Structure 1
């Protein structure tokens, strides 16, 4: 991160997967220049023969590492391949495709913590439904034996490659160890975006057929539920399935049906200090691929105005010599922890109705929207999304989901959350961790 400046940490949201001959994208996220598509030279396919017994009453729990600041991202270790090797992936609820930087050979790859993934020959053919799920309806199969993909992220990053199947190793909460064949991207051409993370790839946790949780569900291994618990102290856990929480203790709200690509609660209202702000009809998306939260320009300006009004007369002053985030304040002496300053800041919340009688509020206390920089300033972890290229999207990122269990239940089409101790994964007498 050059010059100590954090640029949004954004993997995000609207994933555009272009047809092989196409450049471009949709939704105003920029046109990519047409690229030469590398053709995979393969002979035969490796047999996908990992027989497992369906255990839908069980779940998978994976430890998370990293933090919002100063690391700038959370990551999970997955063991993939034959023989199984470890890879560090960015868990991203804003996209579907899981991919690894891949020695195919690699045209352009970025620095990674492990040697690049060595691909096998078990290619996903172009006619496979998983391939179709990653492309526009008018996609033409130029090479029937393989599924080419290109995924573009809103921060300018991209991955181009081919889809294949390989063994993933998971430990279930039931005590069983499973090794299902799942589809993943062999990314042989990566461009880093502004929020570049030095990882082996991305773990796609979105709603589409190609996401890991959808694939596990389709094999009868877990219920189609994904969730995470990010600790404010760093680390936490990620889970697939619904066995690790008590549903009656969770605040639930329906997923928006008119925004099927994203985990969205639809229209929300900004609440500040327990009071309505008049900032309503906010399109809100939950995105674990973004370290910080974002409000559209109009809402952001309103929020900043309320914040500054509240700080009037408090022993804080804006500082221009701390570039950690766009807005930082200094005290009389450097701050050490959020506890030094949280008394000066109010809670805010996003309130959702979505057709249910009662309103669901997603509470965001000061420790879930502020960081203490290395210079001892307190900085605002809510950024202007319009400036970041998110147009009118309001995005709840990792910082605001800390110390909460957040659950995306694709079977019931609901999103839920509850305060939680995320410091250690849930215990189970049979769990292999």
Structure 2
């Protein structure tokens, strides 16, 4: 469970779904069973408060309530992966520090032949035990979770004010390997496009439209939402999801704009990933942007702060910076420009707050990192830092990604937010 820590860089971008035939068979175990229950349905939207920040905490998290009776769990909202899983006392082989007691599962196992089980595994997968669905997910920072799928109920408040308990399929993770950017949470909230994603499951039960979005506040916190009745679509700038790259929320290829001007850094395959605290560019684009930023600072009273290890590149002024406003005369805003159709382009604006942060030492640091160095290959990740103070909307029905400036400190309909 891995998001971008400040000193150790990381992300929850899912690289692999590993079938039960992998070499990790020796980590698997026979299921232990506990009591179970189920729920019902109605149609509306769901809003969840978010906690945390990009810096200094290094991650955002939400609370979900699972089980009968419902118990709270803190989870990492991750648009880069599908499966929601909790650290699980099944019993636990390897679990990490968590804010709550490990999830104690029921005996409502998902059988191996279930379509949700098949959707987790690429191609054919064998059933070591037909009565249960084993899973293993591996993330881009090297962390992983091994476990089994179960069904359980979740306590959910709708924006209509109605409280429901839908039956959801989640992972019981009884063997976790933490990545270098591990954060002490109870699990992961999978918001991806796949059938096992929470939004897809709620949609298939007729509860919500297949839309998910988030609003990260630069002051910390924010909100997460499922459904489409909490925003004005006329104010949303949107671009089509890529038809060539369907696994993640991707607008396809983009171009970096710096200070309002094209940079020549283009043909970048971009992914929106709420599981990454920082933004990542592939090596060539990263080096090109760093060159432009460094050139812009030439001759100005700002020098590299080599002793500040908050992020790979930090700069200091004549006196400590108190906020981004103090450095606005030294840096220029960024943007990513996408093709939205024939002769049409949309632009995702990244203000200074969207790629810079002020460290605890009063220096300004670059919140865009080299993705190639950490194994992202040619992927370019828009992380939380660049999505702050925006409502970002992933509409799986219209197949669009949209965004609009927003006050993320004020969630919509706070009286109807999920507990």
Q: Does structure 2 conserve the Cα–Cα contact (< 8 Å) formed by 1:371 and 1:378?
A: yes
1:27 equivalent in structure 2: none
Question: After superposition, where does 1:370-385 map in structure 2 within 5 Å?
Answer: 370-385=356-371
Q: Does 1:126 align with 2:117?
A: no
Distance 1:67 1:148 in 2: 33
Q: Does 1:85 align with 2:71?
A: yes
| 1:56-110 superposed Cα distances (whole Å, 9 cap, x missing partner) | xx21001000000000000001111111011000000000000000011110000
SS in structure 2 of the partner of residue 264 of structure 1: coil
Q: Does structure 1 conserve the Cα–Cα contact (< 8 Å) formed by 2:157 and 2:416?
A: no
Distance 1:104 1:397 in 2: 33
Question: After superposition, where does 1:326-365 map in structure 2 within 5 Å?
Answer: 326-365=312-351
Distance 1:423 1:429, change over 3 A: closer
2:304 equivalent in structure 1: 318
Distance 2:27 2:158 in 1: 42
1:26 equivalent in structure 2: none
Question: After superposition, where does 1:21-36 map in structure 2 within 5 Å?
Answer: 21-23=21-23, 35-36=26-27
1:30 equivalent in structure 2: none
Task: Give the deviation of 1:431 after TM superposition.
Answer: 5.9
Distance 1:96 1:389, change over 3 A: same
Q: Does 1:51 align with 2:37?
A: no
Instruction: Please say which of residues 166-175 and 351-360 is displaced more in the overlay.
Output: 351-360
Q: Does structure 1 conserve the Cα–Cα contact (< 8 Å) formed by 2:27 and 2:175?
A: no
SS in structure 2 of the partner of residue 248 of structure 1: helix
Distance 1:42 1:103, change over 3 A: closer
SS in structure 1 of the partner of residue 325 of structure 2: helix
Q: 2:51 aligns with which of 62, 65, 70?
A: 65
1:19 equivalent in structure 2: 19
Distance 2:6 2:397 in 1: 40
Size of the alignment, in residue pairs?
416
CA RMSD after TM alignment: 1.7
SS in structure 1 of the partner of residue 48 of structure 2: strand
Distance 1:220 1:428 in 2: 23
Distance 1:141 1:429 in 2: 45
| 1:275-319 superposed Cα distances (whole Å, 9 cap, x missing partner) | 111111110000000000000000001100111111112211001
Q: Does structure 1 conserve the Cα–Cα contact (< 8 Å) formed by 2:193 and 2:247?
A: yes
SS in structure 1 of the partner of residue 73 of structure 2: strand
1:306 equivalent in structure 2: 292
Q: Does structure 1 conserve the Cα–Cα contact (< 8 Å) formed by 2:293 and 2:331?
A: yes
1:37 equivalent in structure 2: 28
Distance 1:247 1:90 in 2: 27
Task: Give the deviation of 1:355 after TM superposition.
Answer: 2.3
Task: Give the deviation of 1:357 after TM superposition.
Answer: 3.4
SS in structure 2 of the partner of residue 227 of structure 1: strand
Q: 1:181 aligns with which of 167, 173, 178?
A: 167
Q: Does structure 2 conserve the Cα–Cα contact (< 8 Å) formed by 1:131 and 1:147?
A: yes
Distance 1:293 1:277 in 2: 18
Distance 1:380 1:13 in 2: 24
Q: Does structure 1 conserve the Cα–Cα contact (< 8 Å) formed by 2:36 and 2:152?
A: no
Structure 1: runs of 5+ lacking an equivalent: 24-32
- Normalising by structure 2, what TM-score? 0.96
Distance 1:273 1:376, change over 3 A: same
Instruction: Please say which of residues 340-349 and 120-129 is displaced more in the overlay.
Output: 340-349
Q: Does structure 2 conserve the Cα–Cα contact (< 8 Å) formed by 1:8 and 1:290?
A: no
Distance 1:316 1:34, change over 3 A: farther
SS in structure 2 of the partner of residue 344 of structure 1: coil
Task: Give the deviation of 1:332 after TM superposition.
Answer: 1.0
Task: Give the deviation of 1:424 after TM superposition.
Answer: 1.6
Q: 2:269 aligns with which of 283, 286, 292?
A: 283
| 1:167-215 superposed Cα distances (whole Å, 9 cap, x missing partner) | 1111111111110010000000001101101100000000000000000
SS in structure 2 of the partner of residue 343 of structure 1: coil
Task: Give the deviation of 1:422 after TM superposition.
Answer: 0.3
1:28 equivalent in structure 2: none
Distance 2:6 2:379 in 1: 23
Q: Does structure 2 conserve the Cα–Cα contact (< 8 Å) formed by 1:256 and 1:354?
A: no
